[in-house]
Structure 1
Amino acid sequence: MFSTAIRKNYNEISALCKRSGEPVYLTKNGEGDLVVMDIEAFARWESMLRLRENLLAVEEGRLKGRSGHSIDEVSTMMKAAVQEVLDGQRK
């Protein structure tokens, strides 16, 4: 059974995820079935998705004519976003 193979190879899969920092794709009968990733990589991925969502929201607002931000405001926001990603990497 597939779950037995995962349990049997858990330590190897975990080590591969940690070593690569990338998702590991598991197949079943030659077809993609699961994606497994290290928790730190997942936290970075979530942070990047939040940042992307925020950037898209700002761009949509700009396109709708909402007022922008000063260079100082943008600098502060970018520093906060970078810090959020760095904090996510340390967890």
Structure 2
Amino acid sequence: MPKTISSTTLRNGYNEVSAWCREKQEPVFATKNGVGDLVVMDIESYEQLMARLDVLKTLAEGYRDVVEGRTHSALEGVVRLREEFGL
């Protein structure tokens, strides 16, 4: 279950929230006037999330290439590499 706190709790208990995020490696959802406002997470978790998103983006691009027929066989790839690098 995600941890949800008020913006006041975030403001007054920043150090505790920061420590909790780093220890649990989970985000904290902050509300303002009872409505979702922010997500707070430790930097390591954020960087991991961004890396995962980058991998998913690359996979999606590759999938689109396959669906749209922008592919070639492995043999064609080897031939092209040899031609390009004079091997």
Residue 26 of structure 2: SS of its match in structure 1?
coil
Instruction: Describe how 1:7-18 pairs up with structure 2 within 5 A.
Output: 7-18=11-22
Name the structure, 1 or 2, with higher relative contact order (CA <8 Å, separation 6+).
Answer: 1
Aligned to 2:71: 67
Question: Aligned pair in 2 of structure 1 residues 47, 69: CA closer, same or farther (>3 Å)?
Answer: farther
Residue 41 of structure 1: SS of its match in structure 2?
helix
Q: Contact (CA 8 Å) 2:31, 2:37: kept in 1 or not?
A: yes
Tell me the CA shift for residue 7 of structure 1. Answer: 3.5
Could you state the TM-score of these two structures normalised by the residue count of structure 2?
A: 0.69
Indicate the structure with greater helix content.
Answer: 1
Aligned to 1:21: 25
- State the percentage of identical aligned residues: 42
Gap regions ≥5 residues in structure 2: 1-5, 75-87
Indicate the structure with greater strand content.
Answer: 2
Tell me the CA shift for residue 68 of structure 1. Answer: 5.2
Could you state the TM-score of these two structures normalised by the residue count of structure 1?
A: 0.66
- The higher radius of gyration belongs to 2
Which AA in structure 2 matches 1:13?
A: V
Q: Detail structure 1 runs of 4+ shifted over 4 Å in the superposition.
A: 2-5
Q: Contact (CA 8 Å) 1:62, 1:68: kept in 2 or not?
A: no
Aligned to 2:48: 44
Q: How many residues align?
A: 69
